[in-house]
Amino acid sequence: MGEEAGLIQWRHAIDGSNASSKWQVHGPAEVRECFSGGPVRFHENQALNLDTEIRFHAARDLHRFVSNLLDGAGPARNAQIAEGLERDSYHLRITRKLEEAKAYLHERYAEDPDARFGLVASSRDRDLERFGIANGFAATRNFRFGPWYGDSESEPGERSCRHLTDCVTEFGAQGLELDAVLLAWGTDLQWDRSSWSSRKARRYQRVGRVRDPHQLRLNAYRVLLTRGRDAAVVFAPELDEMDATYEYLMASGFRLL
């Protein structure tokens, strides 16, 4: 329930329940405010504060960087965190040429056949298909995730993520990780000089069930930007409408390939 607006969705669900007064919520002090002022009983337990990253040593700073980036923080502030990530050997890279991004990853992991790197993109972008990135429903509905994540490059069928041909969206990437991601940044989330805009995103068929489609776009990119343990390589298509996004990402600490 956290995809659209975080823990507040649980509060809305409890308030709408026929037995809201019977609910008891256990959590750290940091989330108490979310459940205050209602019939629910909150029990504080700091052991439930999952603030320790165990995936890799730079993970906490990566999440802080991505959070600042998607909140539209000043690029100088973002770049400072990015510099720390670079010192910790986490690499943020960007290019406007897809083949250049692919070549970088193939070269980077040429001597490590077990490394996993793959192409990811938002499911709501309209324009990436013209660059050969099949992120639409028709291309992903029967996707075979097992071979994509697990196959070697030499496996028959060429389904391995290392081929950088088949694309996984935020739905196929959530909860799973790679050593590095090639994120094709779509026009569904554009920097509009002072804030993020999702005006070009594909619309939802059941609009009434979606409270905040813009927040869903932000959270989709939050997932996609944090799937790589070693690196995130952004491909920003050479479209005039993507210029501001490219410039903001560059100013925020992504280094040009």
Q: Render pLDDT for 171-190 as a digit per residue (tens, 0 to 9).
A: 999 889 999 999 999 999 99
Q: Residue 147 sits in which domain range?
A: 59-256
Using DSSP's 3-state secondary structure scheme, residue 223 falls into helix
pLDDT above 70 (res 210): no
In degrees rounded to 5, what are phi and psi of residue 151?
-70, 150
Same domain, yes or no: 145 and 43 = no
Same domain, yes or no: 63 and 109 = yes
Same domain, yes or no: 19 and 123 = no
Task: Calculate the alpha carbon distances from 159 to 145, 146, 165 in Å.
Answer: 9, 9, 8
Higher-scoring residue by pLDDT: 2, 60: 60
Same domain, yes or no: 31 and 69 = no
DSSP 68-98: HHHTT--HHHHHHHHHHHHHTT-EEEEES-H
According to the model, what pLDDT value does residue 233 have?
98
Same domain, yes or no: 151 and 237 = yes
The number of folded domains in the chain is 2
Higher-scoring residue by pLDDT: 93, 210: 93
Decide if 173 is inside a domain.
Answer: yes
Same domain, yes or no: 96 and 206 = yes
- Work out the average pLDDT over 34-53: 78
Decide if 53 is inside a domain.
Answer: no
Q: What confidence tens digit (pLDDT) does each residue in 128-145 have?
A: 999 999 988 766 777 889
According to the model, what pLDDT value does residue 40 have?
81
Same domain, yes or no: 142 and 43 = no
∠ at Cα 230 (229, 232), nearest 5°? 90
According to the model, what pLDDT value does residue 1 have?
38
Decide if 158 is inside a domain.
Answer: yes
According to the model, what pLDDT value does residue 48 have?
81
Task: Calculate the alpha carbon distances from 120 to 48, 134, 164, 173, 223 in Å.
Answer: 31, 10, 9, 8, 10
Beta partners for 195?
Answer: none
pLDDT above 50 (res 4): no
Same domain, yes or no: 113 and 212 = yes
Tokens 């490059």 belong to which residue?
153
According to the model, what pLDDT value does residue 56 have?
58
Same domain, yes or no: 165 and 224 = yes
Decide if 54 is inside a domain.
Answer: no
Same domain, yes or no: 159 and 32 = no
Same domain, yes or no: 74 and 196 = yes
Q: What confidence tens digit (pLDDT) does each residue in 77-125 have?
A: 999 999 999 999 999 999 999 999 999 999 999 999 999 999 999 999 9
Same domain, yes or no: 155 and 32 = no
In sequence order, which residues have a C-beta less than 8 Å from that of residue 240 and are 6 or more positions away? none
According to the model, what pLDDT value does residue 164 have?
97
